[in-house]
Amino acid sequence: MRLRGQPLGTKNLIGARVEAARRSQGMKQKELLAQLQVRGVDLNASGLSKLEGQIRYVTDTELLALSRILNVSVMWLLTGEERL
């Protein structure tokens, strides 16, 4: 497993949780990218890496697709909690 070379950015709230959920399911970035494309979200490997590193903004359609693919709630992706 490769470790992140740079600290997390500040352009989104969900990146670290997307990465954690993906890794906990044993899913590679390529697999996540394929699932996103099936759902009409066009994202490349660099974009996903930047999203997970929180150095890229996330659109609402990406947020919803990621929550469905990773089987986690949008609220959890945003806050780390199921309820506020």
Write the DSSP string, 31-71.
Answer: HHHHHHHHTT----HHHHHHHHTT-S---HHHHHHHHHHHT
Per domain, the residue ranges of the chain are 15-79
Confidence of residue 5 (pLDDT cuts 50, 70, 90): low
Token pair belonging to 72: 């986690």
Domain range 15-79, CATH architecture:
Orthogonal Bundle (1.10)
For 7-65, what is each residue's pLDDT tens digit? 889 999 999 999 999 999 999 999 999 999 999 999 999 999 999 999 999 999 999 99
Residues 6+ apart with CB under 8 A from 65: 35, 36, 39, 40, 41
Residue 23 structure tokens: 């890794």
- pLDDT band (50, 70, 90) for residue 84: low
Query: What is the rounded CA–CA span in Å between residue 6 and residue 79?
Result: 22
Confidence band, pLDDT 50/70/90 cuts, at residue 82: confident
Residue 2: the pLDDT is 55
